[in-house]
Structure 1
Amino acid sequence: MEPLWVFVGALLAATAVHVAGQQEGFLSIDCGLDAKFNGRRDTYTDIAYVSDDPYVDGGMNHRVAAKFDVSSRSENRRTLRSFPSGIRNCYTLPTESGGKYLVRMEFFYGDYDGKTSPSFEVHLGSNYWDTFRNSDFWWSEAIFVAWGSWVPVCLVNTGGGTPFVSTVELRPLLPSLYPQVTVDESISAFARKNLGADTIYRFPDDPYDRFWEWEVSSLWANLSTKKTIQREDSFAVPIPVLQTAVAPVNNGTVLHVGTWNTYKSTFEFKFFLHFSDIQNTQLRQFDIYLNDYEWYKKYSPPYLTADYVYSTGWYKATEGTYNITLAATNRSMLPPMVNAYEVFNRIPHDTPRTSPKDFDTMMAIKLEYGVKKNWMGDPCFPANYRWSGVNCSGVTANTTRIISLDLSDSNLTGVISDNFTLLTELRYLDLSGNSLNGPVPKSLCKRSAGSLIFRYQSDEDMCNKTTISPPLSKNRTAIISISIVVPMLVVAILVVACLIWRGRRKPKISTHDPPREPELQSAPESRKSNGDQLQNTENRRFTYKELEKFTDKFQRCIGKGGFGLVYYGRLEDNAEVAVKMRSESSSHGLDEFLAEVNS
C-alpha cells in the first residue's frame, strides 16, 4: 500500500466556523472560569458558556501561559481547572433518564503550570471512557443514553501527572440518532472527518454540535457541489459536510480512506461511512474493505441523497491497525468516493452502577446539605472510589443499592430531609453529631422500629418521645375512667335500660319502627367508687337530632355489643349518657333487643 499522507485541520486553529444562536438544551461549561462572571458567549459559535463551580467539587482554576493566551484562541481554551488532590474528580451533569446525549471534554494544556503535559483516564459514570496521553490539545466525545437524572464524567489520576480539563459540553440528541447506542452500551468518538473540505464544521451547521474535522491527502482528489442534498435521520450528517467528497487522484480505481492505530489493544471499533454522490454522469460502484475483510459489495451511493454504510458488529484487529479501502468494480465507470466517516470505539458498561433511584436521592441529599467529602461520580463503583460513609449491597442486574449511610459529625444543619426516606433499602443511618432540628420523618421512625438502625441524638429517642399532658379536672378524669372501663360501662347501661323499660307504661313498641332508631339509655352521673348505688334517672324520650347534639354526631364510640355500637354523650345538665344503637347489620331483631333490655 502506498504511504498515506494525511493533514488534519486542528481544532486549535481559528478556522472559519459559522455563527448562530444558542441551541436549546445545551450545557456548555468553561472550566476554570471565575464564578463571579455571569457566563460568556463563544466568539466563533455564539454558544453561551458558564462557570464550572456548580458542577464540580474541588480543583483549582488556572489560565494558560501568556504565549497561548491570545485573542485568536477561543476563550474557553484560555482557562482550565486542575485537580491536584484526590484520585477521582467528577463533573456531575443533569440529564433526563432515558434521553440520548453527546458529552465532550476538551483539554488544552497551554503550559499552565510550566511542567509537562500529563496523562490520565477519563470515565463515563463508573466505566472507562478514554485516556489523555501527554498532548497539548485533545478532545474526547461520547454518546450515551442517560440511566438517571445525573451523569458523572470523571478524571482519574493514574500517576502520570495532575489531571485537568478546559471545557465540558453536554448536547441532547434525538432518540433516532445513533440507534446502536443503548443504556447498557455507549460509544466514544475515535475519529470524525469531513473529507474534501478546508474548514471545521460544528454548531450551527451541525445542530448537535459534533466536531467534523477537515482532512486532506495528496492521494485524494476533492469533489464538491452547491446543490441541495437530502439528509437522512439516523446520523443527520450536516449538509455542508455532504457537499464535499474525495476520490482517488487521476481517476484511480482504489481509494484509501484512512489508517488508524490504537494505543489500547482491547478497543473494539465500529466504522460509519457517509455518502452522497455529487456526480450523476455514469455508474459509480465499488466494494468496501475493512483491512482484508470484504465489508460491503457493489455499493453505489445515491445522487444528492445522504446514505451510509456501517459495521453492525464490533471489530477488533489482531495487531491494532485498521484501514478502510474502496475498490471500484469492473462495471464502474467512475472512481470510488466518500464524503465523511466516523469511527467509534465501544464503552462497555461492565462495571456495575448504583441504582438510578438511589443515585438521584444521594445527589439530592448532597445538594440539600452541601456535602463535599469525596461525593463525586457513582456512589458505589468502582469500589475503591466509593463515597465516604456509603456502603452498598451485592450486585443484581448490574446495579447495587445503598444499604448504609454514615453522616455523623458532618456539619449538617437544618431539618432531617425527607430524601433519606427514599433510600428504601437503607439498613443503617447515622446522623448523630450534627446540628439538625425539627421532626424526624414518620417513615424513618416507622422503619427504625423494624429493619433500620437509625442514630440521630445520643441523649434522647426522637421517634419515641413521651408527650406529657396538663393535669385533668375531676370531671375530665371521670370521663376518661368511664371510657377506659368499657365492659363495666356496658353492664351499667344494660341495668339502667332495664329500669327505664320497666318504669314505662306505654303500649308495646311496633317492630316496624326504623331499624336505626337509637335507643336512649340514661347513664347515671358518675360518683366516686366507694360503694355508692347508681342514681335513679328520669324516664325521658329524645329526638334523633337531640341525640346527635348530645353525642356530637356520634363521634366517640365507647364500646360495641351484639346489637351494635355504643356512643358517649353529655346531656344539657352535663349528665353523662351512653347511647346504644342497633345496627342494620345486626343479626338480632328489634324484639330481641327489647327482650334483652326487659330481661
Structure 2
Amino acid sequence: MHFAEVEEYSASWSRELTITMNGKFISTPFDPHYLRTTMTNTTFTAEGGKYYFSISTPGTTYQPILNAFEIYMAKEFLVSETNQQDVEAITNLKSTYKIIKNWQGDPCNPQVYLWEGVKCSYSDNDSARIISLDLSQSGLTGEIAASIANLTMIQTLDLSNNNLSGQIPEYLSQLPKLNVLNLENNELTGSVLVGLIAKGKDGLSLSLCGNPSLSKQVPYEKKKNKFSVPVVVSIIVMLLVSSIAAAILWKLKKGHAVWKYRRVDKGHDVFLSFRGQDTRKGLARNLYEALEEKGIKTFFDDETLKAGDEIALALLDAIEACWCIKIP
C-alpha cells in the first residue's frame, strides 16, 4: 500500500493511520509524509475465503487516505526452469560486461518474455537450454568472457560490432554445437585458432572481418616465407581439385554460390595452386575461367613453377591480402 499526505498540518496534529486485515493489525501506526511516498506491505498465504482490509485514524479528526495498492500472487508455470549452468553463465556475462538490457527472472521462461538476444530450446523432459546469444552492438569491452564456455548447447554466438580485445579463446573451438560464430568489427588480436579453422571445414560459419590487429597469417609451416610442395602432394591435390572443380562448376550452372566470401581491398576470393600433367591448360584453366566469368576473383600463380619447387611469394602475399573470408 502506498500513502502520501496531501495536506499540511501543524505539529500538534497528525493523520496517524492503522491498518488491519480481518480485524488483525498488519502494521504499526504511522504518519504519511507530506508529498512523499510512504509504503507498507505484508505477506500472507491466501487459502480461500474473503479478506477485509481496514484503514483507520483513531484519535484524530482527519479521515484515512490511500493513494495506491498492489496485490501480487505466485503463478505456477507448467514448464521447467532454464538449465542452471546456462543461467549462471549468462548471469555472469551480464555482470562482467554490465549489460544494460531487460534481463530479469528466467532467461527462457515464459517463452513470451525471453531475454533480449536469447533463443532457447525446449524439451518435455529436460530444462530449457540457451542455443543462441546475440550481443552485437552491446558496447562490450575487454576480453571474450570465459563464462561463455559453460553455454555448452550454444549454436549461434554473435559478438560483432563491439570493442572486444585480446585473443580468441581456445574454448570457442571446443563448443560442441556451435555452428555460427560472428566476431566481426572488434579489436581482437593474435591469430585465428587452428581448431576454429578445422570447424569451419566441418560447417562452422566463421566471421572475423573488421579486426585490424588480428593476424592474417594462414596456418602453414613457414621457412623463410616459403614452403615446399612434394610431387606426392601434387598428385593428391590434383584429385581433390578435380572433385572440388566438378562441384563448383555444377553449382555455378545452378546459379548458386559455392560459399560466402567478402572481398578486401584488391585481394582474391579463390586460390589455384597445384601441379600435375595438363592441369594448367586443362582442368585448372577451365576452372579459373569459369570462376572469373562469375565475378569470383581468382589467383592463378606462376605458370613456370614445377612440381617439387617452392611456391612463389606472390601466392603467400595474395593469401595474406585476402584474409577477410567468411567460412563457409
Please give the range of the TM-score, normalised by the shorter of the 2 chains.
Answer: 0.3 to 0.5
Q: Would you tell me which structure has more strand in proportion to its own residues? A: 1
Structure with higher Rg: it is 1
TM-score, scaled to structure 2: 0.42
Q: Would you tell me which structure has more helix in proportion to its own residues? A: 2
TM-score, scaled to structure 1: 0.24
